[in-house]
Amino acid sequence: MNRFWKILALCCVMLLMVAPAFGQMSEKPPAAPAAAPEAAPAAAPAFSMNLGAAFGAGLVILGAGLGIGRIGATATESMARQPEVAGKIQGAMIIAAALIEGVTFFALIVCMLFNK
């Protein structure tokens, strides 16, 4: 259960770190008409943020970090057990890590596109 709480705390930290990156200043609020100030529409908020996109980006980064870390750990362990095939293992490890990074960048772009 201790590991669960560590992962949950890490998710919360990632959410808090990523959320301000998605916050954007909106355009100027619409000017109120001079004729009827009581019927003027409410001003647009100066700060808008989509927490779903921020949470999604945090989960993407968390998953990619855990995946690449696991690839590195198992590859290092495999190279220690069989040093004669270390070159093949290292090449496969780099290709797998690059594929994970590509999917991570794609997911982050999707999260940023649906920020609005």
Q: Count Cβ atoms below 10 Å from residue 55 Cβ, excluding itself.
A: 16
Greater model confidence, 23 or 3? 3
Q: Has residue 6 been placed in a domain?
A: no
Residue 94: give its domain's CATH number: 1.20.20.10
pLDDT tens figures, 83-105: 999 999 999 999 999 999 999 99
- 62: Cα within 13 Å, side-chain hemisphere: 19
Q: Has residue 32 been placed in a domain?
A: no
Q: Has residue 85 been placed in a domain?
A: yes
Asked if 79 contacts 86 with a C-beta cutoff of 8 angstroms, the reply is: yes
The token duo for 52 is 């779903």
Q: Has residue 34 been placed in a domain?
A: no
pLDDT tens figures, 19-28: 555 555 555 5
Q: Count Cβ atoms below 10 Å from residue 44 Cβ, excluding itself.
A: 11
Task: Count structural domains, the chain.
Answer: 1
Q: Has residue 28 been placed in a domain?
A: no
Q: Has residue 20 been placed in a domain?
A: no
State pTM to two decimals. Answer: 0.55
- Going by C-alpha positions, the residue among 15, 115, 104, 17 that lies closest to residue 55 is 15
- Residue 72's pLDDT is what? 93
Q: Which of 7-11, 63-67, 85-89 has the lowest mean pLDDT?
A: 7-11
The greatest distance separating any two alpha carbons of the chain, rounded to the nearest whole angstrom, comes to 83
Domain of 111 in residue numbering reads as: 53-116
Q: Has residue 103 been placed in a domain?
A: yes
Average pLDDT in the chain:
78
The token duo for 66 is 């855990």
